[in-house]
Structure 1
Amino acid sequence: MIISRIVKTTTAACVLGLTLAAPALAEKTIRLSILHPEDPYNNAQGAMATVFKSLVEVGTNGSVNVQIFPDGTLGKDNEVIQQMRDGIIQANISSSGGLAQHYPLMGIFDMPFLYANIADAQDVVSLESDFGKMFAADIEEKLDVEVLGMIEAEGFFSITNSVRPIETLEDMAELKIRTMTLPTHEELIRSLGGAPTPLPWPEVYTALQTGVVDGQMNPIPIVAHAKFSEVQEYLTITQHLLTPYTLMMNSDFYNSLTDEERYVVDYAARSAVYAGKGIGRINEASDKGLAGLREAMKVNMIAPAELERFAEAAQPAVLALIEEKFGQEGLDMVNALQAEIARVSGN
């Protein structure tokens, strides 16, 4: 374990060392790791990183520089979070799955069918909401980091498959659906009547192509980017899950900034979140997302009354897992999340 940790840290340090050979570094440097390409027009993390870098460097008159490490250059998500906590890098935008390995309560976001629409979800999964502030404060206390922003990751999950259109709960029966290796995701599909089949991401396309699995679940932009329309016939808009990206910074570094620099970092992070939300909705609606998929797949949306049946089948099963894993703390966090959703939606 110790040797593994040393190797990972040394590898990250070597990558950083090569980059730091560039001349004319600013007095302070934020090394920001993201999972996706540094492309502000094609993914939310790229948009967030680009906006954050520009505003920080301009707003501080160059006293703080931002270096972006895209495409998981520095390692797996959970490893990069540890590098940030250790001060090897200063900031990262993490996935829910990566952060869950450091802060397991991210699992509460696996409660399905919570949000009526994406507008409500964006208002709730935010540092502007009461729930978001409370949730971020708990992360900060337990991990000793600064949470600078939260954003829904690429929009709602939908389900694709190559067997039949999903219009009723009964249509889920025995469909082999690929899931991530998360008990909550597996239980969600099982509770709906499907057969959950956990597979690593690199194997998903081939598994769909060869019939090892019948379908999978992911946000619309990911379905499009992965070209699943080539091997899947049906796309069902279920809006059953939504998970966050979290922008975090090493606490010691954040506290080492001057008051003026912290002010700039804070507003740059807020602006980055808005940029990520905007590009996410654009990509979801454009030919990079749903518009393009509708030309290649048979797309349907489940009727509201039928969706209630989906929720009634899935929510108790997933909630039982959350209670089993997290106890009363998990239930309290889910209750706080649901209360915030009700407040935002006016229900």
Structure 2
Amino acid sequence: MTFMRSFKTLALGGLVSAAIALPSMAADVTIRLAHLNPADPFASHSGAMTSVFKSLVETASGGDIEVLLFPDGQLGKDNEVIQQVRDGIVQSTISSAGGVAQHYPLVGVFDIPFAFPNIAATDRVMDLSSNFGKKFAGGLEKETGLKVLGLLDSGGFFAFTNSKRPITSVEDMKGLRIRTMTLPTHQAMVNSLGGQATPLPWAEVYTALQTGVADGQMNPIPVIAFAKFDEVQKYLSITNHVITPYVWTMNQDFYNGLSAEHKEIVDWAAKVAVNAGRGMSRVIEASAKGLPKLAEKMEINAIPAAEMQKFAEAAQPAVRKLIEEKYGAEGIEMLDAMLAEIKG
């Protein structure tokens, strides 16, 4: 580690230490768990997950384990918090694919457009119990040294929003500056459709849409709703073009240092919490908090099947080519393993 990196790590550690509350003296173990989204368990899937995890762990351990929650990106940008977990400053985080990509780029294999036919297939494949889930988690753990506690979708299939016009065809994408996560695969996807990919970290998205730095963005319906993008976007086009993962990680040394009983509690609670997160995403999508709420301010349209096929034909080859060029044989192997799992 260079002196500059050491200095930055120490400085960051000091800032984070100042931001987090001191653990209770009654607990033998403290887990600091961070995520990007609102704390309200009825507003976001990671809010639901962390609330359930905290309740189950603290109750099952009889108070021996305390879980401190840091929602709303309190501890920094997604990729920064992952680094804090790797460095042992924070014990655990639930992260978007954009943050994960800067530590494990092969998360980009999820970004083949229109690969998942429905949410049931997503739940089956994007899970630690599937063959692909085990392969993906194993690769991430080997590359980063992190323990993977959970794998699930980021809130549902993505839709496009923008402030310029409804998107009803590929031609409507031309020239639109679409905010993407810092994922090369997402950038390739948007550019292949004629848009201008504008990669930005999550914390900057609302302001970018408000000021016109970006014309639009793409996210699942629950994310668009809790982020209040209906305040700064006029059009929502349902494309269901991609679905990305959220990855729940923990510092491996911290996990290894837990007693066998505490490991069992953490593993069990994380599994239940992931299921709660999946369920909450579906509840938000189907309730007045989802599309009905957005429809109060936004013009919503669904893209016809014939046009969706044109989207797929334009975007799929571009993303597969990028994965092959950027990640080589390892990337294609991971991608093909995912596609095989989807087919069952």
CA distance in 2, matches of 1:112, 1:204: 22
1:177 corresponds to which residue?
178
Aligned to 2:60: 59
Gaps of 5+ in 2: none
User: Which SS does the other structure have where 1:112 is aligned?
Assistant: coil
Query: Distance in 1 between the 2:201 and 2:216 partners?
Result: 14
- Deviations 1:167-203, CA, capped at 9 Å, x for gaps: 2223323333333343322221221122334455555
Counterpart for residue 154 of structure 1: 155
Number of residue pairs matched by the alignment: 340
Tell me the SS of whatever aligns to 1:322.
helix
Partner in structure 2 of residue 294 of structure 1? 295
- The residue aligned with 2:86 is 85
Give unpaired runs (5+ residues) of structure 1.
none
Counterpart residue type for residue 14 of structure 1: A
1:129 counterpart residue number: 130
Helix, strand or coil at the partner of 1:273:
helix
- Residue 5 of structure 1 is aligned with which of 9, 12, 18? 9
- 1:201-216 matched pairs, under 5 angstroms: 201=202, 204-205=205-206, 207-209=208-210, 213-216=214-217
CA distance in 1, matches of 2:84, 2:200: 27
Question: Which residue identity lines up with residue 184 of structure 2 in the other structure?
Answer: P
Give the residue type in structure 2 aligned to 1:222: V
Cα 1:26–1:339 change in 2 (3 A) is same
Whole-Å separation in 2 of the counterparts to 1:195 and 1:84: 33
- Contact 2:32/2:90 (8 A) holds in 1: yes
CA deviations on 1:309-328 (whole Å, 9 max, x unpaired) are 21111011111111111111
* % identity of equivalent residues: 56
Matched residue, 2:270:
269
Q: Following the alignment from structure 2 to structure 1, what is the Cα–Cα distance between the partners of residues 232 and 91?
A: 40
Q: Structure 1 residues 149-158 or 217-226, which shifts more?
A: 217-226
The amino acid of 2:160's aligned partner reads I
CA distance in 2, matches of 1:182, 1:252: 28
The change in CA–CA distance for 1:71 and 1:209 in structure 2 (over 3 A counts) is: closer
**Residues 60/206 of structure 1: CA separation in 2 closer, same or farther (3 Å cut):** closer
- Using the size of structure 1 for normalisation, the TM-score is 0.90
**Deviation string, structure 1 residues 283-330 (Cα, Å, up to 9, x no partner):** 222222212122332222222332122111101111111111111100
Q: Which moved more, 1:112-121 or 1:198-207?
A: 198-207
State the Cα deviation string for residues 113-152 of structure 1 (Å, max 9, x = none): 2111222212211112111111111111222221111111
Distance 2:71 2:102 in 1: 21
SS in 2 for 1:33: strand
SS of 2:56's partner is helix
Name the stretch that deviates more: 49-58 or 198-207: 198-207
CA RMSD of aligned residues (A): 2.1
Match of 1:44 in 2: 45
Q: Taking structure 1 as reference, are residues 201 and 28 closer, same or farther at Cα in structure 2, changes over 3 Å only?
A: closer
Q: Who is 1:193 aligned against?
A: 194
Query: Higher mean Cα deviation, 229-238 or 320-329?
Result: 229-238
1:82 and 1:163, CA in 2 relative to 1: closer, same or farther beyond 3 A? closer
Contact 2:77 2:201 in 1 (8 A): no
1:95 is aligned to 96
- Number of the residue aligned with 1:332: 333
The whole-number CA distance in structure 2 between the counterparts of 1:118 and 1:81 is: 27
